Amino acid sequence: MAFIEVDQVSKHFQVHTKAKGMWPALKSLVKRDYTTKKAVQDISFHIERGELVAYIGPNGAGKSTTIKMLSGILQPTSGTIQVGDIVPYQDRKQNAMRMGVVFGQRSQLYWDLAMEDTFDLYKHMYKIEEQQFKRNVEFYVELLQMQEFLTRPVRQLSLGQKMRANLAVALLHDPDVVYLDEPTIGLDIIAKSRIRQFVKEVNKEKQTTLMLTTHDMDDIEQICNRIIMIDQGQVLYDGSLSAFKESYAGGHFIRIELESDSFWLEDERLTVVKDEGPLKTIQFQKKQIAVPEVIQILTAHNRVKDIQMRETSIEDIVKDMYESRSTASEG
């Protein structure tokens, strides 16, 4: 049995439909009309202990709803969820003792308390043993470089410092699983990188299972080894990061800058995918044509000032997938 088992889970919300016009609005005071919003629709996935999983999808895809069901806040409309051997919504307290949650835009910290007091508070809340508490505070303070702001009230901390503090608190009781919702949102590059390093280090040291929702593709590349992508409440992809790139990557790109607007290219292995006057982006598959030959073809017929190479990033792939899904559902 996997550590997290989500089987054919759906979550539907009854949404009140607002009546337009005065008479229908008055009528709706007596009898309300509802429609069903299918936030999550028949999703299944299994996650083993210690996995680092990116749970991604466009806005409104159903990510937070899934995390809320996993953390026991919401009960599924149908299907089954087990985390460890617990059904989260049935045993919320026990589930909470075994998990940590960080919502990037919400804080679990107390504004007027300093971090050292906040740690004490959570020690009592989670009934953490003295030794384990000391060991973890030391480990997290060191790893997240929190020494400089331990004694300051939380309201005086920067966004990055607050995020580090939230992470330390969420992990203080050594949870088996941690759900991170946009943990690097709004942070600068250094703060992001510190948080990514921290998450990986904790996973390595303690085999903590991680489920991460993010819109930042660098978070995924640097932290996760598996992606579950959902859209409109359904799973679109579930597999390794490398297989994801292999299956969906549109090949390689070369971007050339020409000395003038005149351009000549006739080779069916090369496709111009972006034309910005003297700047051309050309796509090709390495299996069909090697890079030196691409360069040779382009430079033989054109006056080239500059050349840049790049692979399809997962950012490109994800953007393409989101866009093609939204075009399909509009059409």
State the nearest-atom distance from the C-beta of 68 to ligand ATP, in Å: 8
Query: Whose Cβ is closer to ligand ATP: residue 146's or residue 314's?
Result: 314
State the nearest-atom distance from the C-beta of 331 to ligand ATP, in Å: 20
Locate 244 and state its tokens: 């994801």
State the nearest-atom distance from the C-beta of 128 to ligand ATP, in Å: 30
State the nearest-atom distance from the C-beta of 317 to ligand ATP, in Å: 18
Query: Whose Cβ is closer to ligand ATP: residue 13's or residue 139's?
Result: 13
How far is C-alpha 252 from the chain's CA centre? Answer: 25
Query: Whose Cβ is closer to ligand ATP: residue 62's or residue 100's?
Result: 62
Q: Determine the residue type at 250.
A: G
Strand partners, 7: 80
Residues in touch with ligand ATP (CB under 6 A): 13, 15, 37, 39, 57, 59-65
Contact 241, 229 (CB under 8 A): no
Order of strands across the sheet with 34-47?
34-47, 4-16, 78-83
Query: Whose Cβ is closer to ligand ATP: residue 60's or residue 277's?
Result: 60
DSSP string, 178-225: EEEESTTTT--HHHHHHHHHHHHHHHHHH--EEEEE-S-HHHHHHH-S
Query: Whose Cβ is closer to ligand ATP: residue 60's or residue 239's?
Result: 60
State the nearest-atom distance from the C-beta of 251 to ligand ATP, in Å: 29
Query: Whose Cβ is closer to ligand ATP: residue 54's or residue 298's?
Result: 54
| Alpha helix positions (H), the chain | 22-30, 63-70, 92-98, 115-125, 130-143, 159-171, 189-206, 217-223, 241-248, 291-301, 314-330
Locate 267 and state its tokens: 């080779």
State the nearest-atom distance from the C-beta of 191 to ligand ATP, in Å: 21
Torsion from C-alpha of 230, 232, 236, 240, nearest 10 degrees? -10
State the nearest-atom distance from the C-beta of 74 to ligand ATP, in Å: 8
Query: Whose Cβ is closer to ligand ATP: residue 123's or residue 226's?
Result: 226
- The C-alpha angle 325, 14, 215, rounded to 5 degrees, equals 35
